[in-house]
Amino acid sequence: MIYIWLIALFFIYSIFPTWIVRISSFRVQKRVKKGVALTFDDGPDPVYTPQLLDLLKKYNVKATFFVVGWKAKKYPHLIQRMHEEGHTIGLHHYYHTSNWFLPPIVTEWELERSARAIEHMTGVRPVYYRPPWGHLNIWTVLMQKKYKIVMWTYILGDWRTSLGVDRLYERLMSSITDGSIIVLHDSGSTIGADEHAPANMLRALEQLLQHCSVQWVKVNEQ
């Protein structure tokens, strides 16, 4: 009987709020009002993030980065460069841990520690937050006074090298609809990701920026 209660509590605490948010967009942002928003998760990465920043600068595109706190502290120059080049920096937890398995106090700690680190580096406190894997719990839904949760319109599977450059490019092209928020990844060090998958992402993204002329926006440009 105790296992049934534990499963029920887990469902109420984690699965149910995630499901509600996914189907209803309750208190989260899944689109922008106009244009297309490129967002990048899991960085900064010492190899791929500089290449990505070079590419965005080449095509004069501003993006939104949801960064992992410990990586931000390890590579502060990349956080400072994002800020100096006009990108928006959001939070993606301190250790890229799922909210499904975090009690409220740890969820709050992960976000606060990351936010303080980024504010120290840039002078700007982050207000945008994307939960790892899109996993929420009851507590994260209640934290809207502190952070604005940003999900996505399209998530393309670019963390897998098996997807390939051509198929990723096709998915990117199909995702270019007015108001869409697109998720890509500038690091392959997360559990479940392929280490060198960002190399394919960069190649596909450059093809997109070469051939697709749209209004690129950051998530805060509302």
> Which residues are identified as catalytic?
41, 185
Helix or strand (DSSP H, E) at 216 = strand 216-217
Closest Cα to residue 193, out of 131, 133, 134, 110? 133
The β-bridge partners of 37 are 181, 217
Separation CA 6–CA 133 (nearest Å): 22
- Give the number of other CB atoms < 10 A from CB of residue 210: 10
Q: Which two three-digit tokens encode residue 119?
A: 């504010």
Cβ-based burial of 162 (10 A; exposed 0-12, middle 13-18, buried ≥19): exposed
Separation CA 137–CA 102 (nearest Å): 8
Q: Which two three-digit tokens encode residue 173?
A: 């092209």
* Helix-then-strand count for the chain, H and E: 9, 9
Closest Cα to residue 46, out of 68, 80, 77? 77
